[in-house]
Structure 1
Amino acid sequence: MTGPGRDRLRELIDAVLDEDHRTLHDMAHGAYSSPFHFSRRLARDAGEPPVAMRRRVALERAAWRLGRGASVTEVAFEAGYGSVEGFARAYARAYGHPPSDTPRAVSVSGSAHWLPAPNGIHFHSPDGLWVEGTGGTSAAEVTALLVHQDVDDVRALVDLAKGLDADAYARDRLPGFTLLHWAGPEGSIKALLNRCVGTYEIWLASIEGADHPGRIAEDSDAGELSARLDAVAPRWLGWVRETERRGAWGDRLVDALCDPPESFVLGSVLAHVLAYSAQRRGLVRALLRQAGMEVGEPVRPGGPPDPVRDGDPIEWLRRHAP
């Protein structure tokens, strides 16, 4: 009963936490499984028997509700207990104090209502789940993901642009449009993509002390831009890795290619590239759709949208996560 691309473990957890599934039989039935195999799979993959998981998450929700001022009686029956006394005993065993002593601070203290969990799965207000990661992710790692996703997405858009004829590629679809006052007009798919790739080239030239790379020739096509991207992308990604390794994001570059020369903090250079590349990529998608291309449409009839064509970092990470 699991459709293509569905996460079977997530379906089993959904069955555990469905508010209509009060018993193990209900949970297993909701997951189209036998109680035996359902319990075995959850205990193996989530490290916690289904009934224990449901009871714990229900108690976490109860603690959150109590912290927001709900009555003990109201919360007890919401949690599926047949009596207030039974709920109070279970709550006291779990939290070390009776439900009536739950502090109001629980409602604003994030994870304060969480109980120990072997799988990191917890109640998250108002009716969701929070799954703790297996390891910490630093801001630097998040930035690295955005840098890689940016390059991959530019490449995906350049590949799509190869399907346009020369006129459609170079047509000025946004007459007079200027994203940055010093960058010149960017009203065509060609101009926007050229600026995405050219930005990597220009900043690397400044960083490496090389000559200004110049602008792409007027008669060039998306295939030539693709070759430029293939050449510059490894260098750009390598510079980001090396700067991170040296902890040099606070270093300052004096850019002699500017007239007059200007100085830039390296961290601000990377932020600039990512911010304006994201804007250009969004505009390119809109213009590709205007040109009649199916950007973000399903790869196959009835299938899910192509995450690469959507340009969403969330979907990109799902495709590239280990």
Structure 2
Amino acid sequence: MTDTGRDRIRELLDAVLGDDHRDLDDMAAHAHVSPFHFSRQLTRHTGESPVALRRRVMLERAAWQLQHGETVTDTAFAAGYDSVDGFARAFSRAFGHPPSRLGSQADRGHWLPAPNGIHFHSPTVLYVDSGDPAEESAGDVVALMVRHDLDDIAALLEAAKGIDEGAYRRTRLPGHASLAWSGPEETLAAVLNHLVHEKRPWLATIEGADTPEFGDADDVSTLIEVHADTAPRWLALTRDIDRRGAWHDSIVDAICDPPESFVLSQIWAHVLTFSAHRRQLARWMLTEAGIPNDHLDPDPIMWHRHQSGGYL
């Protein structure tokens, strides 16, 4: 999903928000252009001057840090202010209250009004709202596919409870990997592990949380517990994105090297594509292991006709 051309969102992250880029000259030097040219180009693309953009996003970061337990003093200097008083005045003008009143009240939020939808989201993520209310949402078809995916994974895990340990970990597809970077998926245990965990890094990135460990415990009972935690969160996030018509919004994941931007609709298409592939692999492996799974119809039409619960 890496764009081989210039990634303007990543350039914003690098040039405007770099820790060492305290003023316009620093930003322009990083972008290898004159301050005048850098300011004109960035303002044209974002509707906000580089200095104003950095000041606003750094104040958003400061609010996020205060909500997560940082002191006002540490936050002030991390935001590039020379004094706590100067930071407090800027913060109060922006948010309407002093930083000392924010504390752990995360429900206050940490975003400020912006002309371009660019906001601080976490230490490694810059959120970019599309800002286009005319952009069509994905509609009910995505909700249906997501609900079917979650219910189908739960049904496959339930069926896998009837398999013995040796058959569960037997190599059935030597050398197989659904994605080159995701590791081998030669056994039913590995396929189900990927099915259950694949959404969790995306959830963390979008929510601004720490990237979760993939999970060494891949026994069926543990995977059922993890899926029970992940599934409602994934569905809630899907509904929220659809409600806001935000499928065209982007995130920048700075954990990637180099940082990559992802459109939310790309993420859901990626997850649904490879989840469907792995669910079919799991079906085949269950059948080969002698587990009856006639009730595990993979067709979302039949599921939609007969489902009587699940994550609805």
Using structure 1 for the length normalisation, give the TM-score. 0.51
Partner SS for 2:173: coil
| Distance (Å, rounded) in 2 between the aligned partners of 1:287 and 1:321 | 26
Amino acid at match of 1:317: H
> What is the RMSD computed on CA atoms of the aligned residues?
1.7
| Distance (Å, rounded) in 1 between the aligned partners of 2:238 and 2:214 | 23
Partner SS for 2:199: helix
| Distance (Å, rounded) in 1 between the aligned partners of 2:297 and 2:255 | 35
Shift of 1:184: 0.9
Are the counterparts in 1 of residues 197 and 214 from structure 2 also a CA contact under 8 Å? yes
Shift of 1:315: 0.4
Percent sequence identity over aligned pairs: 49
Who is 1:257 aligned against? 255
Deviations 1:84-105 (A, max 9, x none): xxxxxxxxxxxxxxxxxxxxxx
Amino acid at match of 1:315: M
Partner SS for 1:253: strand
Partner SS for 1:310: coil
| Distance (Å, rounded) in 1 between the aligned partners of 2:255 and 2:171 | 28
Who is 1:151 aligned against? 150
Who is 2:177 aligned against? 178
Amino acid at match of 1:160: A
Are the counterparts in 2 of residues 149 and 316 from structure 1 also a CA contact under 8 Å? yes
Amino acid at match of 1:235: R
Shift of 1:319: 1.1
Q: Which moved more, 1:201-210 or 1:276-285?
A: 201-210
User: Quick one: higher RCO (CA 8 Å, sep 6+), 1 or 2?
Assistant: 2
Who is 1:266 aligned against? 264
Does residue 142 in structure 1 map to residue 141 in structure 2? yes
Q: Which moved more, 1:224-233 or 1:192-201?
A: 192-201
| Distance (Å, rounded) in 1 between the aligned partners of 2:198 and 2:237 | 14
Aligned partner (choices 294, 303, 308) of residue 316 of structure 1:
303
Deviations 1:3-34 (A, max 9, x none): xxxxxxxxxxxxxxxxxxxxxxxxxxxxxxxx
| Distance (Å, rounded) in 2 between the aligned partners of 1:287 and 1:235 | 28
Evaluate the alpha carbon distance shift between residue 154 and residue 261 of structure 1 in structure 2; reply closer, same or farther with a 3 A threshold.
same
| Distance (Å, rounded) in 2 between the aligned partners of 1:243 and 1:178 | 30
Partner SS for 2:211: coil
Deviations 1:239-286 (A, max 9, x none): 000000111100111113323321110001001111110000001100
The runs of 5 or more residues in structure 2 that have no matched partner are 1-136
| Distance (Å, rounded) in 2 between the aligned partners of 1:198 and 1:232 | 8
Deviations 1:139-162 (A, max 9, x none): 511111111000000010011111
Deviations 1:217-258 (A, max 9, x none): 1x5410000000001111100000000011110011111332
Deviations 1:173-222 (A, max 9, x none): 111101111111111111111111111111101111211211221x5410
Evaluate the alpha carbon distance shift between residue 272 and residue 173 of structure 1 in structure 2; reply closer, same or farther with a 3 A threshold.
same
Q: Which moved more, 1:148-157 or 1:165-174?
A: 165-174
The runs of 5 or more residues in structure 1 that have no matched partner are 1-137, 297-305
| Distance (Å, rounded) in 1 between the aligned partners of 2:229 and 2:151 | 14
Who is 1:95 aligned against? none
Using structure 2 for the length normalisation, give the TM-score. 0.53
Who is 2:232 aligned against? 234
Are the counterparts in 2 of residues 149 and 313 from structure 1 also a CA contact under 8 Å? yes
Are the counterparts in 1 of residues 138 and 242 from structure 2 also a CA contact under 8 Å? no
Please show how residues 1-322 of structure 1 align to structure 2 within 5 Å.
140-217=139-216, 219-296=217-294, 306=295, 309-320=296-307
| Distance (Å, rounded) in 2 between the aligned partners of 1:275 and 1:228 | 21
Evaluate the alpha carbon distance shift between residue 163 and residue 257 of structure 1 in structure 2; reply closer, same or farther with a 3 A threshold.
farther
Deviations 1:48-90 (A, max 9, x none): xxxxxxxxxxxxxxxxxxxxxxxxxxxxxxxxxxxxxxxxxxx
| Distance (Å, rounded) in 2 between the aligned partners of 1:220 and 1:198 | 10
| Distance (Å, rounded) in 2 between the aligned partners of 1:279 and 1:249 | 23
Partner SS for 1:240: helix
Are the counterparts in 2 of residues 171 and 188 from structure 1 also a CA contact under 8 Å? yes
Moved beyond 6 Å, runs of 4+: none
Are the counterparts in 1 of residues 193 and 218 from structure 2 also a CA contact under 8 Å? no
* Structure number with larger C-alpha Rg: 1
Amino acid at match of 1:154: I
Shift of 1:321: 8.2
Are the counterparts in 1 of residues 146 and 235 from structure 2 also a CA contact under 8 Å? yes
Partner SS for 2:251: strand
